[in-house]
Amino acid sequence: MGIRTGQGYLQSLRDGRRVLIDGEVVADVTRHPRLAGAARTISELLDMQHDATHAQALTFDSPSSGEKVGISHLLPRTPEDLRRRREGLKTWADATYGMMGRSPDFMNVMIAALGAAHPFFGQKRSEFGDNMQRYAQHCREHDIVMTHVLVNPQVDRSRPVEKQEKDLAAKVVREGDAGFWISGARTVSTLAAFSHEVLVFPSTYLTPSPEAADYAFGCALPVDTPGITWISRPSVSSGATASYADLPLSNRMDETDAVVIFDEVFVPWERTFLYRDVELCNQVYPKTLSGPHAATQSAVRALAKTEFMLALALSIARSTKIDEHLHVQGMLAEIMVFAETIRSVITASEVNAKPTPWGTLAPDANALWVVRLGFPKMFVRMQEIIQLLGASGLVAVPSYAELQGPGRELVERYYQSAQSDADSRIRLFRLAFDASMSGFAGRQQLYERYYTGDPVRLAGTLFNLYDKKPYHEQMSRILEDIQRRHESGQQMEETRS
């Protein structure tokens, strides 16, 4: 089948999925007033794969079927592959200003890497390796839009999941000839409302105990599997405001986050990749090397987002000519430095890419950690700069509808600025409000902080992985040198006296 059309995608979401929002079951996510905007945005991304302008960047020929498939499924084997994949990722990220963390390429890159690492899954039960390889191919050949859910619900973080008094986390409850059953909750799943499939994979760490085995599994299921309920947070998209342009990001790109509840959900063996195996679950991310591939998508998206925030900040500063002031130039230069840092990280990750045991090239993880741990702080600072530059302008522009309302003439006259007419100024400042102050903006902040895991434990992971030996050796050499100089100084003193 190969790449989907946007229309085909929207049609495919009209299935039996059970999505709850605002106390109601959503009948059709593609027509719900608060959800339809994001569904349309994903459909536009899929349509870009068919568009002559972007098809070259966004697709490649499937190695198995010869059909055109999404570039984010490309397994890089050469530096040229890394470049091609990066350009495709950037094309989609630019289309959503880097504001849609879970455009389908996020999961595609990860699933392709897990598929390449299928021997890892097959080391104890060969059929699980075959399942992983087949599943990655299935996602590529059918342009499956995916979400994933890794984290046990926030109940009691002072003890491991298998020791909780309130046992609410998803776990294996039964096993049969054809598969097993799971019940319980996982949190949170971004894009669930707009996905075809969910990858239910382990979180970061399970205690190596027999009791933890019930929570140690990895599988993939259709989002509309009987027994699955998705409970979404309230939308930040505003079905109610007068104009789309009042909240242009919220209305187009609220990808939703949902808690998933499994009620005796059947998982067939052929959709199982890990089963009651704490040891493999704890190794899955470091050993499959899927992390650097996923981090590449994140870094490319971070670059698109930074470039968007820079364009926004420059335009705000130009509109009232505050860019003539030195401290304003300083703030704009800060964002320029962020953009150039991320661009350099991406280049370094490609230049220092390393071969994997699976015959692929993995971008250099060390370089990508700069974005992984640094970007949340950069993004918060960029939002602060937009607020500092926009100042009262962020709250002193009216709804876009005023341009057609009874106050139209007043608005056209009094909302001009030195460099722009009222219409474009209102559009610019509503966009700036949505990027830096709205519910959408707050959720973006939280997303950047947590989407790839808890930053505290991530920093600990980097500390543990990082090769610290050369630095300890360097310091030993420096201290020895100081000692030598100290002793030779003493000798000179003694010679003089």
Ligand X SMILES: Cc1cc2nc3c(=O)[nH]c(=O)nc-3n(C[C@H](O)[C@H](O)[C@H](O)COP(=O)(O)OP(=O)(O)OC[C@H]3O[C@@H](n4cnc5c(N)ncnc54)[C@H](O)[C@@H]3O)c2cc1C
Interface residues with ligand X (CB under 6 A) are 147-151, 154, 157, 188-190, 257, 446-447, 450-451, 453-454, 456-457
CB of 444 to ligand X, least distance (A): 8
- Among residues 285, 342, 320, the alpha carbon closest in space to that of 150 is found at 285
3-state secondary structure of 497: coil
Least CB distance from residue 453 to ligand X, whole Å?
Answer: 4
Q: Toward ligand X, which CB reaches closer, 358 or 451?
A: 451
Instruction: Give me the least distance between CB of 238 and ligand X, in Å please.
Output: 19
Chain centroid offset of residue 296 CA? 10
- Cβ closer to ligand X: 457 or 468? 457
Residue in the structure block whose two tokens are 């205690």 = 207
CB of 455 to ligand X, least distance (A): 7
Return d(Cα 356, Cα 289) in angstroms, integer: 8
Nearest CB to ligand X, comparing residues 182 and 317: 182
Q: Residues 109, 296: contact at Cβ < 8 Å?
A: yes
Q: How far is the CB of 254 from ligand X (least distance, A)?
A: 11
CB of 101 to ligand X, least distance (A): 7
Nearest Cα residue to 176 out of 279, 275, 280: 275
Taking the least distance from each CB to ligand X, the nearer of 240 and 456 is 456
Give the nearer residue to ligand X in terms of CB position, either 62 or 147.
147
- Return the residue matching tokens 């994933």: 148
Of 8 and 453, the one with the shorter C-beta distance to ligand X is: 453
Burial class (CB in 10 A: 0-12, 13-18, 19+), 192: buried
> The tokens of 275 are what?
């089963």
User: Which letter does DSSP use for residue 234 in this model?
Assistant: P
Q: Given strand 228-232, what is the order of strands in its sheet?
A: 24-25, 19-21, 228-232, 257-268, 179-190, 171-175
Shortest distance, position 249 Cβ to ligand X, whole Å: 15
Asked if residue 357 lies in contact with residue 318, where contact means CB atoms within 8 angstroms, the answer is no
Nearer to ligand X, 148 or 427 (CB): 148
Q: Can you read off the two tokens belonging to residue 89? A: 């990722």
